[in-house]
């Protein structure tokens, strides 16, 4: 037989595109259209419906960037269409290939009730089935003219203040039309078989069977009258569509989904409407498709609906109660997990799960983070402590160097907690049920022979849209189809339960899940990262002092305010806000939000401190850190002790010498640190002939993903900033010796203050940058005379180790990594910590010198200057604080990290000491939170963790009367725990494993 497969395949493509698809709507009549452009912000629905209209037509331009227009379409169903299925087709000017990234609309009836959303792959609105001739049709569309943000091109469209007023779109087709379901079903038949055929090997008989069935179907179609012959064509395909899959076929759990970025190439306010459009679509689709199940994560997005679109929220609540619309993930947002601090990461789950429990009575057992840019090694314990046990993500498939060896595995965190984890082998969180995607999932699955199932999040995401009726139809055909994986709609929990049950001896991955891409997100948009860090620590202080005031003085605990502020901070930890990868508008608003959060939390703290101390004056310090500070206990207020002296003198070779009896620091005429001598250990910190506090400037133009990526080749060129504008000592102080240095480069300036405080073990460096560079990367380098093959960096509830070498491609890939408050490098018996108040990105490298010694260089990443999606990223002023601490242990690094972020103010509001609510006799056991219970009972909650990586015994002594103790989960519910915690009068003895996290709840008498 002659091989004519290619001929048939080409024929299918043309006939589908030019004859069959257009026949889905065989008859149509135009709709009358009119429009009102709403002023400024989106208006309430009632106002939008009532706005004055001006006539418009297909082809008319509309929509200034970020504007909102209310479109009304009206028409009459022709009498001849009686009994037919009729739909309105409304094309706002869509580009079919940019779902979620352009104009969108939400359709309303005349009474203001929502119908469904419109997007490029979903332009239809069902009017009647069956239709009544003469029926009047009136629909209103809240149309958002969100501009298309061109990828990788600097653009002013990313902020409404700079986007201009030029119309972005032209109205397309606006018709009433007959919907021929038989033709639509034929399209689905042919698309599924054609896509399957292309994915099959050349030789199997099954591929030839499909080719011949398609040939017969195409022969059965009258190209001049497709609608009359569609049923006959479908009959030609019935046999090959009915052939069942083989018993060993891979099974795909399709999860209806719309991964909606809470902000990205649109601001937070637009996400409110994106969620409303998508959920209106999905509740409508659920009503039409009995087998379909839809899943949505991010409690904050449900809250958006509840607050701003209650009419849509009621539909969602009904679908949730029916078990068809499934809340997933149990987090406030799909946050970044590298940079959020310990307590913030915990609160993502607390607020997310609490919302789902209170609103729906549902508790999730899975963490759902398909798009997050890598996962910190402290996360498994947090997931478990929140009452969950599974994790889903997909982003690791984006890694650029190493291919992850598993799709289903146990992920072990720093404390030994293991979480059953799944990476969908479909390699997308926007699966559209294309045959190529489904076949790829089966081929790509790395756990064949041990496991047989995977998950596919199915629906248009990023900018929203969700699952379409076409995806549902394709899934139905692939439910049991020879040559294809089996596809069924599933809930995430049901998939995980089945996957876990079938996979014995699951492989284990230990440590962080590092994404070998998007490393620059640890640095981009420095002000947002500083706002996050500052807010996290202010929240800690506010809860601590408010709880102390409530217990000590019976003051009112500002629970509602703290909840609201926590949710605001958690919202901005979304994985395209905190990482710095959103448009300029997002960061303009974020700066305003963080300023407001700072002001409000500062007021809460000050009110609590006034309550505790009254109005009498005195030089007291409130110690919010978990360690004693200048004799002031943790969580207490008292007069701090001053110890030691300090001096700054001229250096013989030029420059200055700072000394305080603990350290001697030499600074040369260039303002560079040439010696940091640890007097206690009689050891020099810096390698011979090296300089520290060295600012280094690199070119930074990654191959793609400007705000997200830094490529390794950036290191090939570096400019050491050694020229000085000024170098001066002072101002003089009995508390610290100070040297100031100024530099300029390009269009930017840097001013640094190097200070050595009396009795301090570290050199403090405050770096002020007035940054106006483009496509540059600024680092601050500290070479250390330490021989180490690994270093520690803080992560949630502990720290993790990374290699300093590049023996393998896995180590080679980690050329930029995340730390929280410290990086620590050590030889046995002596180490150095670099602590910070707001930076996350860093790199650590090592070289062997000619003298045989090893130089280990730690560099903190300060600012970048990508041009997409915000063309002025980081332009402006920034201030960073670092402290270099020689002779530091891990415990010293932990303590210093808290101290630099929770500087105890000397305040005149207290004249008498304030006793702490808790004292802990082991500095390795660190307080993460002191607060009152979320349920309003007045119980006091203490969360602690072992911070040094060893076993710890600690006595927790209470500073108030208690009637009972419970060991709890993060949601403050009693839990079965293997942690010995026995209350003996006013004390509790704890025995903790390395990095173990424990939440204790005390009832007050």
Active-site residues, by number, are 371
d(CA 865, CA 778): 9
Of the candidates 114, 599, 566, which has an alpha carbon nearest to the alpha carbon of residue 300?
Answer: 566
Tell me how far CA of residue 513 lies from CA of 377, 414, 949, in angstroms.
7, 12, 20
Name, in order, each residue with C-beta under 8 angstroms of 517's C-beta and a sequence gap of 6 or more: 373, 398, 399, 400, 705, 708, 709
Q: Of all helices (H) and strands (E), which one includes residue 929?
A: strand 925-932
d(CA 922, CA 947): 11
d(CA 945, CA 574): 25
Residue 464 falls in which region: left (phi positive, over 0), alpha (psi -120 to 50) or beta: left
Please report how many Cα atoms fall inside a 13 Å half-sphere around the Cα of residue 85, on the Cβ side. 12
Residue 441 Cα to chain centre, angstroms: 25
Question: Do residues 985 and 929 lie in contact, with contact meaning Cβ atoms separated by under 8 Å?
Answer: no
Q: Of all helices (H) and strands (E), which one includes residue 74?
A: strand 67-76
Name, in order, each residue with C-beta under 8 angstroms of 745's C-beta and a sequence gap of 6 or more: 697, 719, 721, 723
d(CA 423, CA 428): 10
Question: Do residues 803 and 380 lie in contact, with contact meaning Cβ atoms separated by under 8 Å?
Answer: no
Tell me how far CA of residue 331 lies from CA of 366, 432, 440, 487, in angstroms.
10, 25, 30, 28
Please report how many Cα atoms fall inside a 13 Å half-sphere around the Cα of residue 680, on the Cβ side. 14
Q: What is the DSSP letter of 21?
A: G
Report whether the peptide linkage leading into residue 130 is cis, meaning its omega lies within 30 degrees of zero: yes
Query: Cα-atom radius of gyration of the chain, to the nearest Å?
Result: 31
Question: Do residues 534 and 597 lie in contact, with contact meaning Cβ atoms separated by under 8 Å?
Answer: no
Q: What is the DSSP letter of 153?
A: S
d(CA 527, CA 879): 9
Beta strands in 819-924 (DSSP E): 822-827, 830-836, 841-848, 854-864, 876-886, 906-907, 918-920
d(CA 292, CA 288): 9
Question: Do residues 86 and 94 lie in contact, with contact meaning Cβ atoms separated by under 8 Å?
Answer: no
Residue 874 Cα to chain centre, angstroms: 20
Buried b vs exposed e over 925-964: b needs ≥16 C-beta within 10 Å?
bbbbbbbbbbeeeebbbbbbbbbbbeebebebebbeebee
Residue 124 Cα to chain centre, angstroms: 33
């Amino acid at each position: 037989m002659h091989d004519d497969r290619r001929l048939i395949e080409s024929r299918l493509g043309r006939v589908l595109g030019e004859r069959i698809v257009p026949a889905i709507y065989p008859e149509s009549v135009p709709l009358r259209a009119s429009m009102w452009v709403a002023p400024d912000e989106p208006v309430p629905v009632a106002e939008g419906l009532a706005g004055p209209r001006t006539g418009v037509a297909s082809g008319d331009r509309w929509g200034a960037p970020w504007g909102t227009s209310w479109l009304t379409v009206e028409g009459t169903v022709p009498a001849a269409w009686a009994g037919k299925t009729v739909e309105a087709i409304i094309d706002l000017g869509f580009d079919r290939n940019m779902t979620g990234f352009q104009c969108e609309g939400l359709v309303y009836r005349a009474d203001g009730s929502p119908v469904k959303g419109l997007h490029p792959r979903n332009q239809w609105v069902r009017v009647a089935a069956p239709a009544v001739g003469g029926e009047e049709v009136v629909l209103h569309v809240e149309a958002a003219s969100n501009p298309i943000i061109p990828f990788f091109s600097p653009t002013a469209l990313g902020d409404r203040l700079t986007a201009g007023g030029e119309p972005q779109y032209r109205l397309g087709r606006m018709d009433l039309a007959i919907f021929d379901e038989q033709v639509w079903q034929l399209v689905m038949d042919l698309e599924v078989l054609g896509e399957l055929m292309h994915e099959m090997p050349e030789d199997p008989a099954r591929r030839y069977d499909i080719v011949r069935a398609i040939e017969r179907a195409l022969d059965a179609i009258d190209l001049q009258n497709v609608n009359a012959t569609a049923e006959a064509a479908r009959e030609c395909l019935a046999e090959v569509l009915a052939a069942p899959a083989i018993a060993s076929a891979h099974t795909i759990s399709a999860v209806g989904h719309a991964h909606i970025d809470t902000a990205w190439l649109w601001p937070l306010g637009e996400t409110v409407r994106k969620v409303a459009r998508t959920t209106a679509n999905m509740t409508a689709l659920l009503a039409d498709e009995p087998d379909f199940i839809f899943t949505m994560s991010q409690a904050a997005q449900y809250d958006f609906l509840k607050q701003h679109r209650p009419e849509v929220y009621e539909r969602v609540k009904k679908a949730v109660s029916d078990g068809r619309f499934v809340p997933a993930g149990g987090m406030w947002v799909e946050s970044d997990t590298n940079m959020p601090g310990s307590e913030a990461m915990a609160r993502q789950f607390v607020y997310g799960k609490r919302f789902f429990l209170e609103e729906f009575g549902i508790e999730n057992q899975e963490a759902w983070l398909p798009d997050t840019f890598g996962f910190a090694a402290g996360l498994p314990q947090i997931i478990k402590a929140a009452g969950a046990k599974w994790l889903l993500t997909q982003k690791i498939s984006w890694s650029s160097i190493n291919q992850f060896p598993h799709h289903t595995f146990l992920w072990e965190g720093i404390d030994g907690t293991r979480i059953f984890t799944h990476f969908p082998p479909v390699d997308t969180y926007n699966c559209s049920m294309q045959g190529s995607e489904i076949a790829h999932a089966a081929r790509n699955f790395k756990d064949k022979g041990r496991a047989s199932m995977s998950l596919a999040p199915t629906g248009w995401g990023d900018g929203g849209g969700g699952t379409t009726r076409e995806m549902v139809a394709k899934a139905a055909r692939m439910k049991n189809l020879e040559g294809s994986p089996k596809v069924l709609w599933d809930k995430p929990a049901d998939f995980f339960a089945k996957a876990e049950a079938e996979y014995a001896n699951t492989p284990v991955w230990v440590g962080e899940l590092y994404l070998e891409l998007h490393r620059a997100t640890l640095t981009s948009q420095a002000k947002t990262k500083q706002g996050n860090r500052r807010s996290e620590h202010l929240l800690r202080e506010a809860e601590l002092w408010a709880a102390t005031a409530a217990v000590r003085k019976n003051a009112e605990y500002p629970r509602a305010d703290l909840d609201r502020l926590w949710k605001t901070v958690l919202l901005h930890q979304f994985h395209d806000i905190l990482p710095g990868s959103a448009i300029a508008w997002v960061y303009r608003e974020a700066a305003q939000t963080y300023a407001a959060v700072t002001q409000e939390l500062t007021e809460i703290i000050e009110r609590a401190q006034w309550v505790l101390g009254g109005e009498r004056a005195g030089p007291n310090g409130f110690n919010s850190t978990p360690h004693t500070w200048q004799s002031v206990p943790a969580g207490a207020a008292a007069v701090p002790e001053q110890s030691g002296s300090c001096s700054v003198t001229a250096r013989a070779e030029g420059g200055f010498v700072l000394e305080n009896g603990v350290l001697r620091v030499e600074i040369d005429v260039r303002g560079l640190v040439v010696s940091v001598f640890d007097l206690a250990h009689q050891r020099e910190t810096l390698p011979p002939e090296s300089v520290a506090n060295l600012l280094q400037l690199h070119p930074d133009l990654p191959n793609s993903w400007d705000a997200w990526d830094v490529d390794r080749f950036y290191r090939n060129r570096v400019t050491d900033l050694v020229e000085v504008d000024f170098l001066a000592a002072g101002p003089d102080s009995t508390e610290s010796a100070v040297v100031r240095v100024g530099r300029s480069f390009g269009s930017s300036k840097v001013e640094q203050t190097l200070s050595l405080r009396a009795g301090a073990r570290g050199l403090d460096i405050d770096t002020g940058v007035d940054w106006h560079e483009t496509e540059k990367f600024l680092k601050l380098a500290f070479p250390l005379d330490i021989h180490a093959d690994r270093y520690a960096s803080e992560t949630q509830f502990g720290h993790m180790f990374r290699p300093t070498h590049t023996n393998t491609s896995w180590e080679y890939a980690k050329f930029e990594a995340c730390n929280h408050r410290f990086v620590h490098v050590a030889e046995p018996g002596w180490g150095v910590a670099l602590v910070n108040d707001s930076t996350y990105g860093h790199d650590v490298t090592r070289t062997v010198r000619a003298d045989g010694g090893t130089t280990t260089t730690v560099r903190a990443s300060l600012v970048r200057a990508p041009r997409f999606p915000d063309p002025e990223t980081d332009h402006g002023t920034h201030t960073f604080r670092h402290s270099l601490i020689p002779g530091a242990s891990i415990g010293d690094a932990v303590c210093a990290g808290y101290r630099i972020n929770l500087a105890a103010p000397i305040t005149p509001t207290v004249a008498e000491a304030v006793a702490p609510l808790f004292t802990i006799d082991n500095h390795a056991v660190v307080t993460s939170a002191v607060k009152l219970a979320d349920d309003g009972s007045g119980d006091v909650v203490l969360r602690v963790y072992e911070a040094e990586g060893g076993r710890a015994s600690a006595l927790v002594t209470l500073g108030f009367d208690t009637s009972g103790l419970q060991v709890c989960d993060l949601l403050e519910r009693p839990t079965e725990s293997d942690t010995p915690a026995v209350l003996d009068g006013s004390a509790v003895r704890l025995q903790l494993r390395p990095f173990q996290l424990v939440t204790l709840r005390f009832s007050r008498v």
